[in-house]
Amino acid sequence: MVGLYKSEFKNPVVNWIDKRLPVFTLMQKEYAAFPTPKNFNYFWNFGALAMVNLMIMIATGVFLAMNYTPNVAMAFNSVEHIMRDVNWGWLIRYAHMNGASMFFIVVYIHTFRGLYYGSYKTPRELLWMLGVVILLLMMATAFMGYVLPWGQMSYWGATVITNLFSAIPLVGPSIVTWLWGGFSVDNATLNRFFSLHYLLPFVIVGVVFFHVIALHIAGSNNPLGIDVKSPQDTIPFHPYYTIKDSVGICVYLLVFAALVFFSPNFFASPDNYIPANPLQTPAEIVPEWYFLPFYAILRSVPNKLGGVMMMFGSIMVLFVLPWLDTSPVRSARFRPIYRQVFWLLVIAVLALGAVGAHRPQGIWVVIGRVATLYYFLHFLVILPILGKLERPLPLPESISRPVTRGGGPIPGGAPAKPMEKP
Amino acid sequence: MRFKHLAPALLLGAALVTALGAAPAAAQQDMAKFKQSQPTEPPSLPKIAWSFDGPFGTFDRASAQRGFLIYQQVCSACHSMNQLYYRNLSGIGLSEEQIKAIAASVQVPGGVNDQGQPIERPGLPSDHFKAPFPNEEAARAANNGALPPDQSVLELAREGGPDYLYAILTGYRDPPAGLKMQPGMSYNLYFPGFQIAMPQPLQDDSVQYTDGVKPTLDQEAKDVVTFLTWAANPEMEERKQTGVRVVLFLVFLTGVTYATKRRIWSDLHH
């Protein structure tokens, strides 16, 4: 339909713009009046937190790039120059460095929130898959960003991870040479990683945009996992969730500030304060903490190609999760067995994180293999079968009238008060 | 994350020492004997109460200045500090005059004269700390093949940070009987593999302090570690002080936001 938009804004300037480009109406509909289930708990803060974190990373990153030099002879020194000579450079760099860790903390909680409350189930499959794409892009971005300071762990981490592609039959070694832009990790590699590290966050912004569109089409899930039945079940996003998200943002910033100002190297490897040296391999090559579970899966498989496939497979399996979980009930609150295997999955992932931080010897090999096995069993075997076997608890009639259909006892926590935690 | 890598590093170090031995078999035997009588892992690091510990910690200026003295008179014979400028020394409380004098005490490359010949000039506060060796090869040649690491961010580059540096400086002992030492190596209780290329750098009275403090090994080690921690984290005081203000503000903001949230939500009947 061609023609000016019929704006309802009274302010003449706003109205003039809105008629030609209805961004004010868009914001009004999607962020102010947007009907949102009234029973969110604080786990529903983490999407907004991820958005804030992404903006912090882009803002600090832009200023870092103004002072950083992507050259093997100068990169390490230019980072120290930022720390020592650039006004507030230490704050910008420590915020960016710890911001990466905060981003993964936030996004992992966001993801497990989705797993617990079944947010990936119909009609939100594509919303979930876009989220997995964002996670993959974040991992690529974080990996390349970690290479930029050109410390020992930057260099050797890049060498180990890019070498994984050599496991691909026939074309593997050629792919690695192509990734490196040469025959080892060197200046060409650093340059392209810098370029891509600057590019990918904006690709993430684009996918986040689609993620949000998909969210606003399907509507948010909620802790009960049941559909919105009537306007009574919802409240406008603003002011109720803008203020509730603000509380979460404040707490998030407190944790972030504690890290940046008082323990900025808490997540950092001391080895990365040693300039990269291609002739000296560090005693231990350990990735950043947020990759440890995947690194553990990689090392739990005694075959290189198998390990690489399992590692990527651990993310790929999330893409098809909406079809692996056969239960029509979303929220784990009404799935007595799923609620338990969910925590087994959490334990398996945490165990894999611990395994990734240790040498693959002794008991760590056993734990790594058991946890890897459980990870894949959980998604590929347990979830498909459980949906058929499990007898879910009676679901409440609606969000605002949490009365069970069968007239049985109200399930624990069903009359969810908006502020309570599950 | 600061994981404990000491055990594997030690194993690797021990393996290296073994592999490099002139008679590998004999060395292995020695190593086996040594392992029976000695712990295979350095003891846990001593925990020193540093002036810069905690969210309100600051650098003890007098200690850092004594540490700089030690750097000048002892460390700088072998170790560079390439990231630092002389002007940075204002951070440990040295005056502009003192810094000018310190900088002027070295000769640095001063470009070329009008015949195109390279010349030297006295250092300025805007110059980097002068390195003891022109390049890595020269440093290795003068140090039995070992490269003395740059000390600019050494405190950040070692697991354990200041406690580790203190432990190394005070960890020199006579090698236990039965341990075959490599030529030119010293025995150090806290070094991975126990054999360190750096001879014991500090003893009691290695330097003369001008402020009446007794230069014991313990005092010297604490002073130079304070200096090195400052050198690696010159922003630390500003960072922590800013952090205290930021956290106080955020606590206040969190309280106000939460109260507002309670108020906005109070009109909902659930």
Tell me if chain B has a CB within 8 Å of the CB of A83.
yes
pLDDT at B3: 42
Is B205 among the domain residues? yes
List of chain B residues whose C-beta atoms are within 8 Å of the C-beta of residue A80: 83, 152-153
**Sign of the Cα pseudo-torsion (A344, A347, A348, A349, in order):** positive
Tell me if chain B has a CB within 8 Å of the CB of A362.
no
- Percentage helix, strand, coil, to 5, in chain B? 45, 5, 45
pLDDT at B216: 97
Pairing assessment for the beta strands B118-122 and B107-112 based on DSSP bridges:
antiparallel
Structure tokens at A270: 């001391």
pTM of the model: 0.90
pLDDT at B16: 40
Is residue A378 part of the annotated active site? The answer reads no
Answer whether residue A173 shows pLDDT above 90: yes
Tell me the nearest-neighbour CA distance from A39 into chain B, angstroms.
9
| Distance (Å) of CA A127 to CA A38, A213, A316, A371 | 21, 9, 15, 28
Answer whether residue A405 shows pLDDT above 70: no
Is residue A186 part of the annotated active site? The answer reads no
pLDDT at A419: 43
Average pLDDT over residues B15-37: 45
Catalytic residue among A38, A121, A244, A358: A244
Give A232-244 pLDDT, tens digit per residue.
999 999 999 999 9
Which one of A235, A247, A270 has the shortest CB-CB distance to B2?
Answer: A270
Cα A129 to Cα A341: distance, rounded to the nearest angstrom = 22
Answer whether residue A407 shows pLDDT above 60: no
Residue B91 · residue B234 · CB < 8 Å: yes
The count of other CB atoms within 10 Å of the CB of residue A139 is 16
The count of other CB atoms within 10 Å of the CB of residue B96 is 11
Is B229 among the domain residues? yes
Closest CA to A120 of A279, A359, A328: A328
Give A268-282 pLDDT, tens digit per residue.
999 999 999 999 999
Closest CA to A153 of A239, A316, A270, A14: A270
List the single residue in A with minimal CA-CA distance to B82: A77
Angular region, A275: left φ>0, alpha ψ -120 to 50, beta rest: beta
pLDDT at A403: 55
Average pLDDT over residues A91-103: 98
Is B219 among the domain residues? yes
DSSP line for A193-229: HHHHHHHHHHHHHHHHHHHHHHHHHH----TT-PPP-
Q: What is the DSSP code (8-state) at residue B131?
A: P
Is residue A358 part of the annotated active site? The answer reads no
Average pLDDT over residues A207-214: 97
- Is the CB of A283 less than 8 angstroms away from the CB of B152? no
Catalytic residue among A233, A288, A325, A390: A288
pLDDT at B7: 44
pLDDT at A401: 75
First-to-last C-alpha distance (Å) of chain A: 46
Cα B193 to Cα B171: distance, rounded to the nearest angstrom = 13
CATH of the domain at B211: 1.10.760.10
Average of per-residue pLDDT values in chain A: 94
DSSP line for B6-32: HHHHHHHHHHHHHHHSSSHHHHHHHHH
pLDDT at A6: 93
- Omega before A415 within 30 of 0, i.e. cis: no
- Please compute Rg for chain A using Cα positions: 24
Residue A218 · residue A173 · CB < 8 Å: no
Is B190 among the domain residues? yes
Residue A123 · residue A245 · CB < 8 Å: no
Residues 6+ apart with CB under 8 A from B175: B181, B187, B194
A 85-144 residues with CB < 8 A to B: 90-91, 94
Surface-to-core class of residue A398, CB atoms within 10 Å of its CB (0-12 exposed, 13-18 middle, 19+ buried): middle
The alpha carbon torsion through B244, B250, B256, B258 (nearest 10 deg) reads -130
Residue B125 · residue B85 · CB < 8 Å: yes
- Is the CB of B1 less than 8 angstroms away from the CB of A269? yes
Number of domain units in chain B: 1
Cα A80 to Cα A77: distance, rounded to the nearest angstrom = 5
Structure tokens at A192: 């392209």
Size of interface A-B (CB pairs under 8 A): 112
Cα B206 to Cα B219: distance, rounded to the nearest angstrom = 11
Average pLDDT over residues B239-249: 98
DSSP line for A241-257: HHHHHHHHHHHHHHHHH
pLDDT at B38: 58
Tell me if chain B has a CB within 8 Å of the CB of A278.
no
| Distance (Å) of CA B203 to CA A314, B170, B220 | 56, 9, 8
Pairing assessment for the beta strands B107-112 and A234-236 based on DSSP bridges:
unpaired
Is B267 among the domain residues? no
Question: Position A264: which residue type?
Answer: P
Angular region, A265: left φ>0, alpha ψ -120 to 50, beta rest: alpha
pLDDT at B40: 74
pLDDT at A411: 47
pLDDT at A420: 41
Cα B138 to Cα B140: distance, rounded to the nearest angstrom = 5
Average pLDDT over residues A189-195: 98
By percentage, how much of chain B surpasses pLDDT 70?
85
Cα B111 to Cα B58: distance, rounded to the nearest angstrom = 39
pLDDT at B20: 40
- Which residue range is the domain that position B232 belongs to? 61-84+128-237
pLDDT at A408: 45
Q: How many CA atoms lie less than 13 Å away from A58 in the CB half-sphere?
A: 14
Give A253-262 pLDDT, tens digit per residue.
999 999 999 9
Average pLDDT over residues A363-378: 98
Answer whether residue A195 shows pLDDT above 90: yes
Which one of A235, A247, A257 has the shortest CB-CB distance to B257?
Answer: A247
- Residue A358 is assigned to a ligand binding site: no
Q: How many CA atoms lie less than 13 Å away from B110 in the CB half-sphere?
A: 11
Confidence of residue A413 (pLDDT cuts 50, 70, 90): very low
Average pLDDT over residues A221-226: 96
Average pLDDT over residues B134-153: 96
Residue A242 · residue B231 · CB < 8 Å: no
Residue whose structure tokens are 């190596």 = B185
Residues 6+ apart with CB under 8 A from A166: A172, A173, A175, A176
Structure tokens at B25: 């078999």
- Please compute Rg for chain B using Cα positions: 24
Is B53 among the domain residues? no
List of chain B residues whose C-beta atoms are within 8 Å of the C-beta of residue A251: 254
Angular region, B46: left φ>0, alpha ψ -120 to 50, beta rest: beta
Confidence of residue B36 (pLDDT cuts 50, 70, 90): low
Answer whether residue A371 shows pLDDT above 70: yes
CA of residue A263 relative to chain centroid, distance: 23
Residue A98 · residue A264 · CB < 8 Å: yes
Cα A411 to Cα A422: distance, rounded to the nearest angstrom = 12
Average of per-residue pLDDT values in chain B: 88
Is B206 among the domain residues? yes
Average pLDDT over residues B77-92: 97
pLDDT at A277: 96
Cα B129 to Cα B102: distance, rounded to the nearest angstrom = 10
Cα A186 to Cα A193: distance, rounded to the nearest angstrom = 11
- Is the CB of B270 less than 8 angstroms away from the CB of A400? yes
Is residue A325 part of the annotated active site? The answer reads no
Q: Which of B83, B163, B236 to mutate to test the interface with A (most CBs of A within 10 A)?
A: B83
- Omega before B215 within 30 of 0, i.e. cis: no
List of chain A residues whose C-beta atoms are within 8 Å of the C-beta of residue B258: 247, 250
Q: How many residues does chain A have?
A: 422
Is B95 among the domain residues? no
Average pLDDT over residues B234-239: 98
pLDDT at A400: 86
Answer whether residue B10 shows pLDDT above 50: no
List the single residue in B with minimal CA-CA distance to A244: B261
By percentage, how much of chain A surpasses pLDDT 70?
95
The count of other CB atoms within 10 Å of the CB of residue A316 is 12
